[in-house]
Amino acid sequence: MSNLMENVIVDFETLGNGEEGDSFIILDVAWTFFELDGKNNFDELTANGKQVKFDVKEQQEMGWNAEKGTVKWWKSQDKEARAAILPSDKDIKLS
């Protein structure tokens, strides 16, 4: 096996899933590389992972939407998950 991991998993977290329109607020995008042989463990995947979190307020000002059902779902998540999406000074602007 080479040290180069050729496969990637990409995960987008948004405030919508298409039930109420389009142009949904993007909370973040995360990715990690992995091998198909199944020998990656959780610690390796998370250590190799990267995440970019986006500025929600800017997206709201651009007219992007948040679906009520998705917001309700986020509010039902545990404290750690909700804390991960709170605004921070490290959030990336899209413009």
Interval 50-84: pLDDT, tens: 999 999 999 999 999 999 999 999 999 999 999 88
Which pTM was predicted?
0.79
pLDDT digits (tens, 9 = 90+) for 15-56: 998 766 678 999 999 999 888 887 888 898 888 899 999 999
Beta-carbon neighbour count of residue 76 at 10 Å? 9
Calculate mean pLDDT across residues 3-13.
83
pLDDT bucket at 1, cuts 50 / 70 / 90 = very low
Contact 34, 45 (CB under 8 A): yes
- The number of residues in the chain equals 95
pLDDT of residue 2: 52
Q: CB-based contacts of 30: which residues, under 8 Å, 6+ apart?
A: 10, 11, 13, 49, 50, 51, 52
Residue 35: per-residue pLDDT: 84
